[in-house]
Copies of this chain bind each other. A is one copy, B any other.
Amino acid sequence: MVSQLVEDATSGNRRALARLFTLLERDDDTLAAIVRATHTHAGNAYTVGVTGPPGAGKSTLVDGLVRASRDEGLSVGVLAVDPTSPFSGGAVLGDRIRMQQHFLDRGVFIRSLATKGAHGGLSRVAWAAARLLDACGRDVVYVETVGVGQTELEVMRVADTVVVAVVPEAGDAVQAMKAGLMEIADVFVVNKADRSGADRMVSALRTMLEIGEHRPDWMPPVIASQAHRKLGIPELHDAIARHRESLQEGCGLSRRRGERLREEFTRTLAERIQSRLADATSPGGALADLAARVERGEVDPYTAAGQAMAEGIALGRFASLEDPCGIK
């Protein structure tokens, strides 16, 4: 089913694409099947992440960026990621309404992703969703988060360029630093720059960026904008393009994407091992007796763990190729 849908979606069938998005959020196996089927098609889209505290006007900024990309004749995908519960999704819905002007534009595909499942799950779904849009021929994918917690930082790892939006309120810069935004920002934008303190905010950010450790090949620019009046959008769009060029000149782009792929590989492997481990310690599993002895206090947890490893938890196979059975 997945492969047929992927074939249809990559040929431009929007209904198939929408169906795949629904499947993507269903479970990890289905997600894996979709990533697998789209793998060879993906790798052409450029992904821009937009994050920052609530109220920074991220949706309006993305709205402006979408328009700018469309003016260049590019097809666009937008992912709005909301890690809060579905019950508090009101604000997002309101923001989405502003995007409705793009709704009839077949060059723009908009989709919201809400949290499901375990820690790290949303970041995986966002990554797979961006790959899917990529495989279906979108030239640019914008990934927007609602807030700026740990989940959103993880989600931003999907992006080639990360835009951090703040407003000129006292404390916002400090919050941005605390939240770890200085480290992930490729471009800073001080939105609502008509408010007082905007200039000071811009220069404070520049100073912090200069003082802080920064990558040798890129100094994040700080742009002032008033997104609702469309001011600063061309400058922001341009800063993203310059960062993209900088990444492409070095090997930064393939490195970023490679790291993300590798991370997904090791995380998946760890999860699968974890699940085998849970099976093994459950009643009937091969480690059940040992786990029961630990539970009864007959052996301490660390001795038992050492025993389990020695008896052949057998990752030894990967530590040494000379040991093909993995028994140590």
Contact = CB atoms under 8 A, between A and B. Distances in A.
B277 A35 contact: no
A319 B261 contact: no
A280 B39 contact: no
Nearest to A268: B305
Given A295-B261, A313-B318, A318-B286, A270 B266 contact: no
B269 A300 contact: no
Interface in A250-283: 257-259, 261-262, 264-266, 268-270, 272-274, 276-281
Contacts of A301: 35, 261-262, 264-265, 268
A280 B313 contact: no
A312 B317 contact: yes
B36 A308 contact: no
Nearest to A291: B262
A287 interface: yes
B269 A308 contact: yes
Contacts of A316: 276
B36 A319 contact: no
B291 A265 contact: yes
Interface in A305-322: 305, 308-309, 311-321
Contact of A268 (B269, B279, B302, B327): B302
A308 B265 CA distance: 10
A197 interface: no
Contacts of A294: 261-262, 264-265
B324 A317 contact: no
Interface of A: 32-33, 35-36, 39, 43, 257-259, 261-262, 264-266, 268-270, 272-274, 276-281, 285-287, 290-291, 294-297, 299-305, 308-309, 311-321, 324-327
Given A265-B305, A286-B317, A313-B317, 8 more contacts: A39-B300, A265-B290, A265-B301, A269-B309, A273-B273, A273-B277, A273-B313, A280-B315
